[in-house]
Amino acid sequence: MRRIAILIAAAVMTSGAAHAQIAVEKLDPGLDALVAPDTKVEVLVRDEYGFFEGPVWHHGREGDFLTFSDLVRNQVIRLDPQTHQASTWLADVWKGKDSSSAISFERNGEKFLQVGPNGETLDKQGRLVFTAMGSGRIMRREPDGRVTALADKFGGRHLNAPNDLVIRSDGAVYFTDIRKGSVTTDETPPEGVPHTGVYMVNNGKLTLLDGTLDTPNGIAFSPDERVLYVNDIRPKKVYAYDVRPDGTTANRRLFIDMTTDNRPGAPDGMKIDVRGNVWDSGPAGIWIISPQGRHLGTILTPERLSNLAWGDADAMGLYTTSGTMITHIRTRIQGIRP
């Protein structure tokens, strides 16, 4: 793992402002209040041997820094915001033996398996909570470095591939499981839950909120937590739910349909700004969508995005992850961060 960290750090040192590009596609005058017309996308990390996901900005007892997931290398990586030096923060997340059902992809003629962690967030105590996608678990890193499982089964079967998550102000964890019916000899019984899912974990109880989406992925709350947004990545649609006082959901409705844009990209990870605008990965880059579901514009990105997170001291920096890159974008509005 030390060698991997050094390789990533070297990639960071050869990136940065020299690779920044201006890329804003305005569809509505309201976009100007959110991003400048000359907004630049700055590449901080470029690496061909991983797959990056789940960025989150830490701002607490351990300092200010970014962590993100590498599904291929099976680790959480820490990135220093000043030096852009990267190092392994949490290694060997997936400890199984059966990777037969892991998502695979090819890059430059080489095959890779996505077995590691995916979405990340922080709880109110500043602890990292993440989806261990390859392990079928929701995990939390304790202050002493131990990792504990918050959820791993539903209805007697293991979770399939937890993808992304968000934590409500009362501590309830909401997460998506993008797959169904996976089979692994690492678990007993080997059969996974027979449906995909949007779930809530509250006081140790796991509740299924929706088991009918095709491929649920990114998930986020409106600023007042009365609306829950969920991406359905394969159909390229985003849904909104009303949140009841007990945390369950009702009145699922289509928030935006991205199928009209044929450029590479789909609704994967998403985040929300303080005015309730949705910043979602989508065709060509980051779709910025008003609370009423109006597409205001797109920040074009060098690669198809996997996720994004608000960071920097003023919460006006947007960090993105993709297959081989970590990028940074300055905005004109603050984002909601854990």
Instruction: Show the tokens assigned to 255.
Output: 């928030």
Q: What predicted TM-score, i.e. pTM, was given to this entire model?
A: 0.94
CA distance 153 to 59: 31
Largest CA distance in the chain: 55
Q: Convert the pLDDT of each residue in 142-170 to its tens digit.
A: 999 899 999 999 999 999 999 999 999 99
What residues does each domain of the chain span?
A: 2-330
- In DSSP terms, 173 is beta-bridged to 167, 201
Q: Which tops the pLDDT comparison, 321 or 9?
A: 321
Q: How far apart are CA 199 and CA 165, in angstroms?
A: 9
Give me the helices (H) in the chain, please.
2-13
Mean pLDDT of 113-140: 97
Tell me: cis bond preceding 245? Omega within 30 of 0 counts: no
Closest to 197 measured CA to CA, from 236, 151, 242: 151
188 Cβ contact partners less than 8 Å away, ≥ 6 residues apart: none
Contact between residue 192 and residue 158 where contact means Cβ atoms under 8 Å apart: yes
Of 125, 78, 70, 6, residue with least CA distance to 323: 70
- Give which of 11, 77, 69 is closest to 44, Cα–Cα: 11
Q: Render pLDDT for 76-125 as a digit per residue (tens, 0 to 9).
A: 999 998 888 999 999 999 999 999 989 999 999 999 999 999 999 999 99
Q: What is the pLDDT of residue 19?
A: 57
Q: Mind listing the pLDDT tens digit for each residue in 271-324?
A: 999 999 999 999 999 999 999 999 999 999 999 999 999 999 999 999 999 999
* Residues comprising the chain, all counted: 338
Choose the CATH number for 2-330 among 1.10.10.10, 2.30.290.10, 3.40.50.620, 2.120.10.30.
Answer: 2.120.10.30
